Amino acid sequence: MLLRAAVTASSSSSLPLFNSENSRLAPILHRGSKLDRLVFSATKGSSNNRILTGVLFEPFEEVKKELDLVPIVPQDSLARHKFHDASEAAINEQINVEYNVSYVYHAMYAYFDRDNVALRGLAKFFKESSEEEREHAEKLMEYQNKRGGKVKLQSIVKPLSEFDHADKGDALYAMELALSLEKLTNEKLLNLHNVASKNGDVQLTDFVESEFLGEQVEAIKKISEFVAQLRRVGKGHGVWHFDQMLLNEEAAAA
C-alpha cells in the first residue's frame, strides 16, 4: 500500500512523559485541527524534555478511492477466455484418473518393498511410476488454473494391497494391471482431447498432445514388453533376473 509519512519533533515540555533516569518510550496522542497523530516520545533524565519523533502513516486519497472500488475476493477469473465448461470438467476428471493410478502404483511399490517379497527393481519402478502420475495430475491442475478454471478434487478408490496370483505370480499380475492402467489413462486423455476439439479449444488440444499423448504411447509400449518378458520367464528364478534387470536399468538411467 502506498503510504504518506509525517515525522514531527517538538521541544515543548507540556506533554506528559515518563519520569525515569533510563530511556523510556511512551505513546502520546496529539489532536490537531486536521488529524490525530500518535507520537512516540523518549526521554532520559530530568533535563531532557525534547520529543524525539512523531510518525503518522495513512493511505493517499487516490489509493483509498481505488481500494473502495476493488472487491476483496474476485468472484470470476480474469484469465478465462474461450474455455468451455465441458473442458473444465474433463480436466478435473483427468486429474482424478491420474491420482487414482498414482495411488495404485504406490500400493504396488509398498507390496514389492516388503521384506518377504524383496523385489527392489519392481518396487523402484512402481514408486517412480506413482510419482510420475502425481506430477501429471499437478500439471493438469496448473493448466486448469492458467485457463481460469477451478480445480475440484474428487474421491480416489482404495487400491489393492496384495498382488500375488496363484497362476501368474505377483510380478506378472502387477505388470498386467499396470498395462491396463496405462491404457485407461490413454483413453481418458483421448476423451479430453476430443472434448477440446468439439469446443474448438486449440490450445487445450495442443497441451494434451505435447505434454501427454506421446509419453503415454511410449509407456504402453514399454510395459507391454515387460509383460511379454514376464510371461516367458514364469514365476520362479526368472522373476529375480527380471527384477535385477529393472534395478540395473533404473540405476543406469539415473
Binding-site entries for Fe cation:
98, 133, 136, 182, 216
- Alpha carbon distance 19, 43 (integer Å): 8
Annotated binding-site members: 98, 133, 136, 182, 216
Alpha helices in the chain (DSSP H): 61-69, 85-112, 120-146, 169-198, 202-208, 214-233, 237-253
Residue 180 one-letter amino acid: S
| Residue owning grid cell 509400449 | 221
Q: Is the Cα torsion angle 180, 186, 192, 198 positive or negative in sign?
A: negative
- Alpha carbon distance 133, 108 (integer Å): 14
**24 forms bridges with which residues in the sheet?**
43
- Alpha carbon distance 77, 84 (integer Å): 13
Yes or no: say if 222 and 99 are a contact pair by the CB < 8 Å rule.
Answer: no
